[in-house]
Amino acid sequence: MLRFIAVGDSLHHDIKGANAARIQSVFTTGGICANELGLNGFGEVADLSSVQTLASKYDAYPSYVLPAFIW
């Protein structure tokens, strides 16, 4: 069985697309939505209520939330 997970920093595009495809997703808060979440530095952790509010705004709901994704 293949397993997939979408990883992205855009609720409107990446996470909403994962929701539409019915696959799990990881939202990285330190990317293009960082300003909307009130973040100032790399790796800073977003307040959960801010993430939930922004997710509702875009009608895009991640399975998981990380401050950054590094490999």
Q: What is the CATH number of the domain that holds 56?
A: 3.40.50.1000
pLDDT reported for residue 43 = 84
Using alpha carbons only, what angle is made at residue 21 by residues 4 and 57, rounded to the nearest 5 degrees?
A: 110
Closest CA to 27 of 52, 2, 57, 42: 52
pLDDT digits (tens, 9 = 90+) for 13-60: 999 999 999 999 999 999 999 999 999 988 889 999 999 999 999 999
Domain of 32? 5-66
Q: How many CB atoms lie within 10 A of CB 27?
A: 27
What's the structural domain count of the chain?
1
25 within 8 A of 6, measured Cβ to Cβ: yes
User: Looking at the domain assignment, is residue 71 inside a domain?
Assistant: no
pLDDT reported for residue 1 = 84
